[in-house]
Amino acid sequence: MRTTYIHKVEDSEAFKHQLLMWSQQFDDVVWLDSNNYQQNHSKYDAVLAVDAFTSIQTDFHNAFEQLKDYQSITKDWIFGYLTYDLKNDVEPLRSHNHDGLEFSDLYFFQPKKLFFFKGNQVEIHYFKMVDDEFETDLKAIKLIHPSTHQLINDSVKIKLRIHKEDYFEKINNMLAHIHRGDIYEANFCQEFYAENTQINPLETYNKLNGISNPPFATFLKCNDKYVLSASPERYLKKEGNTVISQPIKGTTKRSLDMAEDEQLKTELLKNEKERSENIMIVDLVRNDLSKTAIKGSVEVEELCKIYTFDQVHHMISTVKSKVESNTNPVDIIKSTFPMGSMTGAPKISAMKIIEALEETKRGIYSGAVGYFSPSGDFDFNVVIRSILYNETKKYVSYSVGGAITAKSDPLKEYEECLVKAKAMRQVLEDQSK
CA angle 190, 192, 193 (to 5 degrees): 135
CATH code: domain 2-431 is: 3.60.120.10
Q: What is the model's pLDDT at position 323?
A: 97
Instruction: Work out the number of other CB atoms within 10 angstroms of the CB of residue 311.
Output: 21
Between 252 and 240, name the one with better pLDDT: 240
Q: What is the pLDDT of residues 349-406, one digit of tens each?
A: 999 999 999 999 999 999 999 999 999 999 999 999 999 999 999 999 999 999 999 9
Enter the DSSP assignment of 346: S
User: How large is the average pLDDT for residues 314-339?
Assistant: 96
Name the percent of the chain lying above pLDDT 90: 88
Q: What is the model's pLDDT at position 147?
A: 66
Per-residue pLDDT for 208 more than 90?
Answer: yes
Q: How far is CA 265 from the centre of its chain?
A: 24
Distance from C-alpha of 397 to C-alpha of 205, rounded to nearest angstrom = 13
* Range scoring the smallest mean pLDDT among 126-130, 276-280, 292-296: 276-280
Q: What is the model's pLDDT at position 145?
A: 85
Which residues, in sequence order, are bridge partners of residue 6? 123
Per-residue pLDDT for 334 more than 80?
Answer: yes
Contact 354/57 with Cβ under 8 angstroms? no
Distance from C-alpha of 68 to C-alpha of 64, rounded to nearest angstrom = 6
Dihedral angle computed from the Cα positions of residues 174, 83, 122 and 128, in that order, rounded to the nearest 10 degrees: 170
User: How large is the average pLDDT for residues 119-130?
Assistant: 95
User: How large is the average pLDDT for residues 285-307?
Assistant: 96
Per-residue pLDDT for 140 more than 60?
Answer: yes
Name the percent of the chain lying above pLDDT 70: 97
Per-residue pLDDT for 154 more than 60?
Answer: yes
Contact 425/417 with Cβ under 8 angstroms? no
Distance from C-alpha of 358 to C-alpha of 350, rounded to nearest angstrom = 12
Residue 92 preceded by cis peptide, ω within 30: no
Distance from C-alpha of 233 to C-alpha of 368, rounded to nearest angstrom = 10
Q: What is the pLDDT of residues 16-48, one digit of tens each?
A: 999 999 999 999 999 999 998 866 677 899 999
Q: What is the model's pLDDT at position 148?
A: 53
Q: Where are the alpha helices (DSSP H) in 24-158?
A: 63-74, 87-90, 134-143
Q: What is the model's pLDDT at position 42?
A: 77
Q: What is the pLDDT of residues 288-297, one digit of tens each?
A: 999 999 999 9
Q: What is the model's pLDDT at position 397?
A: 97
Catalytic positions, please?
233, 249
Contact 74/54 with Cβ under 8 angstroms? yes
Q: What is the pLDDT of residues 156-183, one digit of tens each?
A: 889 999 999 999 999 999 999 999 999 9
Tally of CA atoms within 13 A in the half-sphere of 232 that contains its CB: 24
Enter the DSSP assignment of 360: B
Q: Where are the alpha helices (DSSP H) in 24-133?
A: 63-74, 87-90
Phi/psi zone of residue 156: left (φ > 0), alpha (ψ -120 to 50 degrees), beta?
Answer: beta
Q: What is the model's pLDDT at position 149?
A: 55
- How high does pLDDT run on average in the chain? 93
Question: Who's near 250: CB < 8 A, 6+ residues apart?
Answer: 268, 271, 274, 275, 277, 278, 304, 314, 315
Per-residue pLDDT for 257 more than 60?
Answer: yes
User: How large is the average pLDDT for residues 279-290?
Assistant: 94
Instruction: Work out the number of other CB atoms within 10 angstroms of the CB of residue 382.
Output: 28
Distance from C-alpha of 91 to C-alpha of 7, rounded to nearest angstrom = 46
Contact 187/401 with Cβ under 8 angstroms? yes
User: How large is the average pLDDT for residues 73-95?
Assistant: 96
Q: What is the model's pLDDT at position 212?
A: 87
Per-residue pLDDT for 314 more than 70?
Answer: yes
Q: Where are the beta strands (DSSP E) in 274-331?
A: 299-308, 312-322
Among 198, 197, 192, CA closest to 164: 192
Strand-strand pairing, 106-118 and 46-58: antiparallel
Secondary structure (3-state) at 101: coil
Give Rg (Cα) of the chain: 21
Give me the sign of the Cα torsion angle 415, 420, 423, 424: negative
Distance from C-alpha of 172 to C-alpha of 187, rounded to nearest angstrom = 13
